[in-house]
Amino acid sequence: MPISLELKDRAAAGRICRLETPHGTVTTPTLLPVLNPNIQLISAKEMRRLFGAEMVITNSYVIRKHDDLRTHALEKGVHSLIDWDGPVMTDSGTFQQYVYGDVEVAPDEIVRFQRDIGVDVGTILDVFSTPERSYEEAREDLEETVRRAELSVAEKGDMALATTVQGGVYPILREEAARAVTPFGDLFPIGGVVPLMERQRYADLVRVIVGAKEGLPAGKPVHLFGCGHPMVFPLAAALGCDLFDSSAYAKYARDGRMIFADGTRMLAEMEESECLCPVCQTTPMAELKRLAEPQRMRLLAEHNLHVSFAELRRVRQSIREGTLWELVEQRATAHPSLQDAMKVLQEEPMKQWLERHEPISGSRAYRWTGPHSAHRPLLHRLHRRLQTRYQPPPDVETTVVLTEGRRPFSAGHRERIKDHLSRRAAHFIVDSYLGPVPIELDHVYPFAQSIVPDVLDPGSLTTARSVLSLFLDEVVRTQVLADGDELEDWTFHTAEDLYADPGLVLQHDKKEGPGIEAWDLDRLRMRATADLQFGRGAAKVLLGPWEGMEARVRFHRSKRLDKVRNVQVEGDHVLSLRAADGWFSLTADGARRLHAGFQTPKLRVVVQAESATFNAEGKNVMAPFVMDMDPELRPGDDCLVVDPDDRLVAHGRVILAPHEVGGFQRGLAVRVREGLGT
Ligand SMILES: [Zn+2]
């Protein structure tokens, strides 16, 4: 295998990977500056020294066309030609074909040439489908591209082959194209998207990327061909694009344009630059305008590259922190068409696709940036899990809906809760901006770890309310009482009559409640968290039935945080609660209980027998050894590692998502917390 990809970190459908090539390792997502083999405005070595570039792309078609370049490349290799010892990717003339109508090289010939000059990743001569192509035409282009991919494999030798995914603006064709070229490629560019980006058709761009990603294997690098404007990097990275290439830095510099993370500006109109790059820091705009053209162009190109690489560093850091959506949402305000693209992500199938990749928690708070924050895949998942896994406490007649407020909600609403409990056997749901929060789940990520505005936009409010409504109707099913002025304009489906006359409730419900002393929030917390995290019924499996729980289950509290840290059931340490995100970490006893209590495939990651022996000793599960995974598991979930005969060998946290099983040839699939012997 000439190149390979290893997953290191993830957020949204985006990821940080190590891309191994014959000429070194690259951290993705990254930008490949385009080097013109004829005139190098900025040399390859400078690309590394000034901007930190790790991989570059140049054009094999142009090299082949010029006698001197061709001779040099064939004799000494492409690395010598551009004076660069890192990985080199080459394009094949497809774009020239798109611009000039035709190229004078056969598809197999150009692949042979790329192989002969020693490039690390060569590209097939695919057929560029413009957005104007009809479905039938795009389909013909696609079929020709697939034929050429097949033809190219025989010529590629040891070189990694980039087989481009075409398909015009039709997501279904993109998916079909992706599946068709998968057997032939090592790296997958998404092609034909430059006209979409030039015309700011970002909504189409999103559909095209997701269509292609659907059909591509998870463990292979994906390159968004011709995407060199940083404005699109966060969004494209969030959809799982690993590589970008930029000739924009030079093209824009030639036109006197300066690239910024939120758009482009003409140098002629710039009086001052807020940019912190070395060019803008040392050269006032007036001086830059006065420079002779070659120097000005060079400095503008440098600025453009500084800004582009800085944005990619920002993207990677956001992935590590779990705040990529925040960045995507902020950047989407830069252009109305990016707002349209965000709307596409709110469509149900898109949300479902994104949710499959999304880790269960992040290391930083869920920070609300605007209307799109109500639609992040993490919330989508939580709402679904609440709907299918949560069970309200037994023996509750009235559910009181409390308003958004200080976090954690149980502390913020302590006095209201106390008051209600003195009067009725009640339970409490917070009508939060993130959707319904049963009070005993107020510590889990992101309910406690979120920062929201005091006043929400009407659209987001409607979204939150409709989720709450559904939850009250289908899961809670008791009479509902609203507590708070902000809830007044809202009709509860299950208790319209109560709402119409709040006095009615008080008369109806005069009996004494349990009082806050008898109200065992810890017990409720453990029960609900276990069910929500591991599936409905997990609380019973782990902690036993609700009745008699107080006698059986002991909580050990952290003195510093005054929160439950460890849960003991009949003397066994079954669970630990993580202070950071409020979710459980399994222990050996907890894992054994879940394994005995739940049938396969629930919570399982099935590994090959030869791996199981190592995992039983506490070693991590490597990606190639995973045979199967519970389709409900998500990155960050605790899981049971079992051998092919369903013997429990370890427990740990999932790194891969179920649809990625079989995709990665390197790296971890499960970080094992504890091996359980054999
Ligand atoms: Zn600058």
Distance CA 309, CA 565 (A): 42
Ligand 1 centroid from CA 200, angstroms: 23
Say if residue 154's pLDDT is above 90. Answer: yes
State the Cα torsion 90-93-95-101 to the nearest 10°. Answer: 180
Structure tokens at 135: 């479905």
Say if residue 493's pLDDT is above 50. Answer: no
pLDDT band, residue 94 (cuts 50/70/90): confident
Ligand 1 centroid from CA 260, angstroms: 8
pLDDT digits (tens, 9 = 90+) for 21-45: 999 999 999 999 999 988 889 999 9
Q: Per-domain residue ranges for the chain?
A: 29-344, 370-518, 599-678
Say if residue 494's pLDDT is above 50. Answer: no
Give the closest residue to 324 by CA, choosing from 357, 277, 352, 275: 357
CB count in 10 Å sphere of residue 372: 20
Give the closest residue to 275 by CA, choosing from 261, 293, 289: 261
pLDDT at position 630: 98
pLDDT above 70 covers a percentage of the chain that reads: 96
pLDDT at position 518: 75
Total number of residues shown for the chain: 678
Ligand 1 centroid from CA 280, angstroms: 4
Beta strands 30-35 and 56-59 are parallel
Angstrom CA distances, 579 to 252, 563, 585, stand at: 49, 8, 10
Ligand 1 centroid from CA 495, angstroms: 60
Distance CA 267, CA 257 (A): 6
Mean of all residue pLDDT scores within the chain: 93
pTM of the model: 0.94
Q: Any residues with CB less than 8 A from the CB of 192 and at least 6 apart, and which?
A: 128, 129, 130, 131, 166, 167, 168, 225
Give the closest residue to 423 by CA, choosing from 502, 357, 541: 502
Say if residue 82's pLDDT is above 80. Answer: yes
pLDDT band, residue 510 (cuts 50/70/90): low
Is 186 designated active site? no
Q: Any residues with CB less than 8 A from the CB of 317 and at least 6 apart, and which?
A: none
Say if residue 104's pLDDT is above 80. Answer: yes
pLDDT digits (tens, 9 = 90+) for 425-471: 889 999 999 999 999 999 999 999 999 999 889 999 889 989 998 99
pLDDT band, residue 499 (cuts 50/70/90): very low
Average pLDDT over residues 204-210: 98
pLDDT at position 296: 97
Ligand 1 centroid from CA 259, angstroms: 8
Average pLDDT over residues 491-497: 45
SS3 state of residue 337: helix
pLDDT band, residue 424 (cuts 50/70/90): confident
Ligand 1 centroid from CA 249, angstroms: 12
**Phi/psi class of residue 117: alpha, beta or left (left: φ > 0; alpha: ψ in -120 to 50)?**
alpha
Q: Which has more confidence, 483 or 558?
A: 558
Structure tokens at 305: 């590259």
Ligand 1 centroid from CA 234, angstroms: 19
**β-sheet with 479-483: strand ranges across:** 435-438, 426-432, 398-403, 479-483
Residue 307 contacts residue 277 (beta carbons within 8 Å): yes
Under DSSP, the state recorded for 620 is P
pLDDT digits (tens, 9 = 90+) for 390-417: 999 988 888 999 988 899 999 999 998 9
pLDDT above 90 covers a percentage of the chain that reads: 82
Beta strands 584-586 and 572-577 are antiparallel
> How far is residue 102 CA from its own chain's centroid?
39
Average pLDDT over residues 114-142: 96
Residue 182 contacts residue 138 (beta carbons within 8 Å): no
Q: Note the helical H segments in 193-347.
A: 194-198, 202-215, 233-238, 248-254, 278-282, 285-290, 293-321, 324-332, 336-344
Q: Which CATH class is domain 599-678?
A: mainly beta
Ligand 1 centroid from CA 253, angstroms: 12
CB count in 10 Å sphere of residue 622: 18
Ligand 1 centroid from CA 320, angstroms: 26
pLDDT at position 71: 97
Ligand 1 centroid from CA 299, angstroms: 9
CA geometry: angle 561, 325, 189, nearest 5 deg:
135
Residue 322 contacts residue 360 (beta carbons within 8 Å): no
pLDDT at position 3: 96
Ligand 1 centroid from CA 337, angstroms: 25
Instruction: Please state the φ and ψ torsions of residue 183, each to the nearest 5 degrees.
Output: -65, -20
CB count in 10 Å sphere of residue 324: 28
Superfamily of domain covering 370-518: Uracil-DNA glycosylase-like (3.40.50.10630)
Ligand 1 centroid from CA 15, angstroms: 27
Residue 316 CB-half CA count within 13 A = 19
Say if residue 489's pLDDT is above 70. Answer: no
Ligand 1 centroid from CA 289, angstroms: 14
Instruction: Report the run of H or E that residue 131 belongs to, with start and end.
Output: none
Beta strands 638-642 and 553-558 are unpaired
Q: Any residues with CB less than 8 A from the CB of 260 and at least 6 apart, and which?
A: 230, 275, 307
pLDDT band, residue 496 (cuts 50/70/90): very low
Distance CA 207, CA 219 (A): 21
Instruction: Please state the φ and ψ torsions of residue 670, each to the nearest 5 degrees.
Output: -135, 130
Written as one letter, the residue type at 122 is G
Average pLDDT over residues 300-325: 97
Written as one letter, the residue type at 132 is E
pLDDT at position 486: 63
Structure tokens at 359: 């880790």
Ligand 1 centroid from CA 281, angstroms: 7
pLDDT digits (tens, 9 = 90+) for 629-673: 999 999 999 999 999 999 999 999 999 999 999 999 999 999 999
Ligand 1 centroid from CA 304, angstroms: 7
SS3 state of residue 149: helix
Q: Note the helical H segments in 324-413.
A: 324-332, 336-344, 348-355, 377-389, 409-412
Q: Any residues with CB less than 8 A from the CB of 485 and at least 6 apart, and which?
A: none
Sign of the four-CA dihedral 142, 143, 144, 147: positive
Ligand 1 centroid from CA 322, angstroms: 28
Structure tokens at 490: 């809202």
Whether a cis peptide bond, with omega within 30° of 0, leads into 436 is no
pLDDT at position 490: 52
Ligand 1 centroid from CA 475, angstroms: 54
Structure tokens at 244: 């970008």
Distance CA 224, CA 228 (A): 9
Say if residue 84's pLDDT is above 50. Answer: yes
Which one of the listed residues 68, 91, 431, 473 is annotated catalytic? 91
Written as one letter, the residue type at 563 is K
Structure tokens at 636: 């960050």
Distance CA 653, CA 275 (A): 41
Whether a cis peptide bond, with omega within 30° of 0, leads into 601 is yes
Distance CA 583, CA 603 (A): 15
Say if residue 174's pLDDT is above 50. Answer: yes
DSSP 549-603: HHHHEEEEEETTTTEEEEEEETTEEEEEE-TTTS-EEE-HHHHHHHHHHS-TTTT
| Fold of the domain spanning 29-344 | TIM Barrel (3.20.20)
pLDDT digits (tens, 9 = 90+) for 241-300: 999 998 999 999 999 999 999 999 999 999 999 999 999 999 999 999 999 999 999 999
Give the closest residue to 305 by CA, choosing from 83, 25, 41, 29: 41
Distance CA 42, CA 36 (A): 9
Ligand 1 centroid from CA 279, angstroms: 5
pLDDT digits (tens, 9 = 90+) for 318-354: 999 999 999 999 999 999 999 999 999 999 999 999 9
- One fold for both 370-518 and 599-678? no
pLDDT at position 497: 47
Q: Can you point out the beta strands (E) in 377-432?
A: 398-403, 426-432
